[in-house]
C-alpha cells in the first residue's frame, strides 16, 4: 500500500511490553533512495523484486536478490580479512550505521567471535582513539554547555519510547582511566549487547555521555579530541548537571526507564547510586562489582547457611593498594570499604595476605594488571587442590594474570576466568578453555527482566536472583571441563532465564508494575526479545 508521499506502511513495530496491542496502526518511513540510507529499515540486496517495485528501489540496487544469511556470510568474510581488531570494530560500527538488523544478526550468530570486537577488549582501544576514528556520531552528548537545557537535548533524540539508558562521564573507562567524551564507545557497545544478548529493541536503547571535561592532558592537547577542552568539573557544578540530567530523564521517559551508570570513578559512582537508587531505576555493574561482589557473596552465604550477614562478611577479605583491609585502618577507609575491615594485624602485600589468610577464591577487580604474580598463584595452589583464580579487570592489558600463567603456575589445577577473553591454553598435553567472567552474561538479561516486568526500583535481591539464574545454567559437563560459566553461544537462552528470575523477584518484592504477572516468565521473556530477522514490507 503506497501513499502519495512515497512512504512505506508497516504494521506498527509492536512494543512487546504492552499487553494491549492495537493492530496494524500504520507508521511511515522512507522509501526509494532514502530507504537505503535508513539503517533501521535498509535490507540492502535482500529487498525482494516485489519490494523494490513497491518502494521505488528499481535501479538503485544491482539486480540480484540474496538472503540475510548470505549477507551475514559475506560480512563475516569481509571482517575476517582485517587482521587488526580496531579495524574490525570500525567495520562493525559502519555496519550498524548502515543496516541495523544485519549488524545484530551477525553479532548474535557469531557472538563468541564478535563479542571481543564490539565490547571488551577492543572497545577500550576504540575509546582511546575515538577522536581519530570518529565518523558518524552515535548516542547523545550532554555537556556543561547544555546546563539548564538538558530536557531540550533529550527531546532532540528521535526515538521517544526509551527503555534503557547507559550513561558514562568517561572518568574511569575500563582500566584505562579518564577518556572524557571519548568514553562514548562504552555506552554504545553496552547497548549493542542489551539488544544482541538481552533482546531489548535497538530503538529503545539510548547511549549517553556526560561531558564535564577531562583531566587527561594527552586528550586536552590532542587536535582530534571531540570533547570539552577543560579540566573536569567537580563538586556543586558536577552534582547540579547530573541532577538536571536525572530529573530530565524521568520527566521525558517516565519512571520505568532503566539507567545504568557506567565507568564513573568510584568517588562519584557510589554517591550517585546512593542518591538516585531511591527515586530512579538505576544500577552500576562496575561498583556492584568490587565491594559489590563481596556484598553479594556475603548475602548468598548468609542465605544458604542461615548465618547472619555480618558473620558472612568476615569470610571475605579485601586487599587494596595499601594492603589488607583491617580494623586498625577503619578511620582512613572510604565508607564502602568499612564493612570489610576485620580484626587482623596489618599486612602490606597481596602475597603475604594470601599466605596468611589462605583463601580458596582470589578475585581481582582493581583495574591494575599483573598483580596475581607467580608467587601468588603458586601460594593459592599450595593450599587448594583447585584454586579459583578470577582475573576480572579489563581490558586484557589490565588483567591480573593471563590464562596461561594461571594454568601453568598452578600445574593445571586452577579454575580460571577473566573479564576479557583469553585463547585456549595447552598444558602438559591437556587443553584448558578459560572461562570469561564477563558482565555481558548478566546485565542484558537483568535489564530485560526489569523492563518486561515494569520494575520501578532495583533491589540487591534482584542481582542475587540474576547470579543464581546464571549459575543454574552451568551444566555438569561445563564443570567437568573446569568451566564455571556456561558457553556464550547460548547467551540469549541464558538471558531469558536471568530475565525471568529478575522479574519473578520484582513481582515477589512488589516492585513490578506490569500486571497481571505472566504465567511462564521464561517463555514471556523469550517472546519479548527483539529478532534481527528481516520483515517483509508490503
Radius of gyration of the chain (CA): 24
Least Cα distance to 418 among 443, 431, 400 occurs for 400
Pairing relationship of beta strands 415-418 and 205-211 according to DSSP bridges = unpaired
149 backbone dihedrals φ, ψ, rounded to 5° = -135, 25
The answer to the question of whether 286 is labelled as a binding residue is yes
Nearest-10 crossing angle of helices 350-357, 374-383: 0
- Residues 89, 119, 441, 524: which is the catalytic one? 119
> Could you say which DSSP state residue 21 is in?
P
- Is 394 annotated in a binding site? The answer is yes
Catalytic annotation on 534?
Answer: no
Cell of 514: 506490569
Nine-digit cell string for 288: 556492584
Q: Which of 283, 251, 21, 287 is nearest to 164 (CA)?
A: 283
List the one residue out of 201, 16, 34, 183 whose CA is nearest residue 104: 201
The response to whether 514 counts as a known ligand-binding position is no
- In the chain, % helix, strand, coil (3-state, to 5) comes to 50, 10, 40
Cα separation values, 485 from 109, 407, 476, 482, Å: 19, 17, 11, 9
Q: Are 182 and 226 in contact (CB under 8 A)?
A: yes
CA 471 to chain CA centroid, Å, is: 18
Residues 6+ apart with CB under 8 A from 160: none
Cell match 539510548: residue?
206
d(CA 113, CA 107): 9
Give the CA distances from residue 48 to residues 6, 54, 295, 316, in Å, rounded to whole numbers and listed in that order.
Answer: 18, 10, 55, 60
* 508 CA to centre of own chain: 26
Strand ranges of the sheet holding 140-143, from the earlier edge strand across to the other edge:
140-143, 205-211, 164-168, 258-261, 281-283
Question: Which of 297, 271, 301, 294 lies closest to 284, judged by CA?
Answer: 271
Active-site annotation holds for 119: yes
* 262 in a labelled binding site: yes
Catalytic positions, please?
Answer: 119, 190
Residues making up the annotated binding site for (S)-malate are 172, 394, 438
Enumerate the known binding-site residues for a divalent metal cation. Answer: 262-263, 286
Amino acid at each position: 500500500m503506497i501513499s502519495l508521499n512515497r512512504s512505506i506502511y508497516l504494521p506498527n513495530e509492536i512494543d512487546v511490553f504492552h499487553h494491549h496491542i492495537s493492530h496494524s496502526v500504520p507508521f511511515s518511513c522512507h522509501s526509494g533512495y532514502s530507504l537505503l540510507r535508513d539503517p533501521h529499515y535498509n535490507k540492502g540486496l535482500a529487498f525482494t523484486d516485489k519490494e523494490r517495485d513497491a518502494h521505488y528501489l528499481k535501479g538503485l540496487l544491482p539486480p540480484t536478490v540474496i538472503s540475510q544469511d548470505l549477507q551475514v556470510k559475506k560480512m563475516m568474510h569481509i571482517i575476517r580479512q582485517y587482521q587488526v581488531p580496531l579495524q574490525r570494530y570500525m567495520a562493525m560500527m559502519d555496519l550498524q550505521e548502515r543496516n541495523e538488523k544485519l549488524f545484530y544478526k551477525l553479532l548474535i550468530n557469531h557472538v563468541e567471535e564478535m563479542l571481543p570486537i564490539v565490547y571488551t577488549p577492543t572497545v577500550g582501544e576504540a575509546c582511546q582513539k575515538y577522536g581519530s576514528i570518529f565518523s558518524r556520531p552515535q548516542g547523545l552528548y550532554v555537556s556543561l554547555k547544555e546546563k539548564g537545557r538538558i530536557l531540550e537535548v533529550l527531546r532532540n533524540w528521535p526515538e521517544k519510547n526509551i527503555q534503557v539508558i547507559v550513561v558514562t562521564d568517561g572518568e574511569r573507562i575500563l582500566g584505562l582511566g579518564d577518556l572524557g567524551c571519548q568514553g562514548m564507545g562504552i555506552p554504545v557497545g553496552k547497548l549493542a549487547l542489551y539488544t544482541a544478548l538481552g533482546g531489548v529493541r535497538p530503538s529503545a536503547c539510548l547511549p549517553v555521555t556526560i561531558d564535564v571535561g577531562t583531566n587527561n592532558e594527552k586528550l586536552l592537547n590532542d587536535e582530534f579530541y571531540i570533547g570539552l577542552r577543560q579540566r573536569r568539573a567537580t563538586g556543586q557544578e558536577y552534582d547540579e548537571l547530573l541532577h538536571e540530567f536525572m530529573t530530565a530523564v524521568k520527566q521525558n521517559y517516565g519512571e520505568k526507564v532503566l539507567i545504568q551508570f557506567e565507568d564513573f570513578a568510584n568517588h562519584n559512582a557510589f554517591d550517585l547510586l546512593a542518591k538516585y537508587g531511591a527515586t530512579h531505576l538505576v544500577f552500576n555493574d562496575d561498583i556492584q562489582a568490587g565491594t559489590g561482589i563481596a556484598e553479594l557473596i556475603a548475602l548468598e552465604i548468609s542465605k544458604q547457611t542461615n548465618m547472619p550477614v555480618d558473620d558472612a562478611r568476615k569470610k571475605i577479605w579485601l586487599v587494596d593498594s595499601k594492603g589488607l583491609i583491617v580494623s586498625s585502618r577503619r578511620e582512613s577507609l572510604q565508607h564502602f570499604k568499612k564493612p570489610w575491615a576485620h580484626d587482623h594485624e596489618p599486612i602490606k602485600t597481596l602475597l603475604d595476605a594470601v599466605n596468611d589468610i589462605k583463601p580458596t577464591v582470589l578475585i581481582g577487580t582493581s583495574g591494575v594488571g599483573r598483580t596475581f604474580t607467580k608467587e601468588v598463584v603458586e601460594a593459592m595452589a599450595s593450599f587448594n587442590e583447585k584454586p579459583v583464580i578470577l582475573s576480572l579487570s579489563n581490558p586484557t592489558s589490565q588483567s591480573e594474570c593471563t590464562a596461561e600463567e594461571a594454568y601453568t603456575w598452578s600445574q593445571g589445577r586452577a579454575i580460571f576466568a577473566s573479564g576479557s577473553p583469553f585463547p585456549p591454553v595447552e598444558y602438559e598435553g591437556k587443553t584448558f578453555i578459560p572461562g570469561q567472567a564477563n558482565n555481558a552474561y548478566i546485565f542484558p538479561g537483568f535489564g530485560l527482566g526489569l523492563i518486561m516486568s515494569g520494575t520501578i526500583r532495583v533491589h540487591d535481591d534482584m542481582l542475587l536472583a540474576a547470579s543464581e539464574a546464571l549459575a543454574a545454567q552451568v551444566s555438569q559437563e561445563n564443570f567437568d571441563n573446569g568451566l564455571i560459566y556456561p558457553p556464550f553461544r547460548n547467551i540469549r537462552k541464558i538471558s531469558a532465564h536471568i530475565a525471568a528470575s529478575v522479574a519473578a523477584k520484582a513481582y515477589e518484592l512488589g516492585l513490578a508494575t506490569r500486571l497481571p504477572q505472566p504465567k511462564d516468565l521464561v517463555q514471556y521473556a523469550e517472546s519479548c526479545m527483539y529478532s534481527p530477522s528481516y520483515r517483509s514490507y508490503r
